[in-house]
Amino acid sequence: MTEMLITGNWKNNNHGFTFFEIAVVILLIGLMITLASPRIRDAILTDNLKITTRRLVGLVKGLRNDAVREQKEYVVHFELDSNRYWTESSSMSEEERARAQEKARQLPDDVKVLDIWFKGRGKKMRGEASIRFTKKGYMRQSVIHLGSEDGRVFTIILNPFMAKVWVLEKYVEFEA
């Protein structure tokens, strides 16, 4: 082996990358990330319809769990005309209920509750609609339709006995 080094018969086996090649690859990756990240961020973080849908699904699951854990009824109220919602529990005083309604959460301007369907009562499109959770976590089968200004619609299906909430990215009609 030492003879090879001295005589210069050692083959030059370069299997690595040069600094320039690595720098070009890093530059291209950085450029792609820079160009793609605003679209990804906007699609994930600023889609108000998806955010609102996730928020309502979380609210429903949370209220159902709270009702069972605390053994009291909970109600989520929707003011369909003003596009607001709030929650209350059976243990709240009238003053606390009025305060909860005053502090109702406003949906984003580009998202609207199109209607809420209740099994046995049909569809409610105006006024106030309420979904009540019993101490056992049960509720009337309900469907919330959310729409955005760009025409997309989500359907949130609430099952009376199961903790599962289904979300469909289209309008699904139900019959009373």
| Dihedral angle over CA of 38, 166, 160, 126, nearest 10 | 60
Whether 175 is in a domain gets the answer no
**DSSP 8-state symbol, 137:** S
Give me the pLDDT at residue 7, please. 53
Whether 155 is in a domain gets the answer yes
Nearest to 176 by CA among 115, 124, 123, 125: 123
Whether 126 is in a domain gets the answer yes
Beta bridge partners of residue 74, listed in sequence order: 89, 133
Q: What is the 3-state secondary structure (H, E, C) of the chain?
A: CHHHHHHCCCCCCCCCCCHHHHHHHHHHHHHHHHHHHHHHHHHHHCCHHHHHHHHHHHHHHHHHHHHHHHCCCEEEEEECCCCEEEEEECCCCHHHHHHHHHCCEECCCCEEEEEEEECCCEEECCCEEEEEECCCCCCCCEEEEEEECCCCEEEEEECCCCCCEEEECCCCCCCC
Give me the pLDDT at residue 35, please. 81
Whether 15 is in a domain gets the answer no
Give me the pLDDT at residue 9, please. 53
Give me the pLDDT at residue 130, please. 96
17 pLDDT more than 90: no
* Domain carrying residue 87: 48-168
Give me the pLDDT at residue 155, please. 97
> 122-145, pLDDT tens digit by residue?
999 999 999 999 999 899 999 999
Average pLDDT over residues 40-44: 61
Q: What is the CATH number of the domain that holds 126?
A: 3.55.40.10
Whether 77 is in a domain gets the answer yes
> 59-111, pLDDT tens digit by residue?
999 999 999 999 999 999 999 999 999 999 999 999 999 999 999 999 999 99
Confidence of residue 48 (pLDDT cuts 50, 70, 90): very high
| Mean of pLDDT over the chain | 88
Whether 64 is in a domain gets the answer yes
Whether 149 is in a domain gets the answer yes
Whether 13 is in a domain gets the answer no
Q: Are 53 and 165 in contact (CB under 8 A)?
A: no
4 pLDDT more than 70: no
Neighbour count for residue 98 (Cβ, 10 Å): 12
When divided into structural domains, the chain yields a total of 1
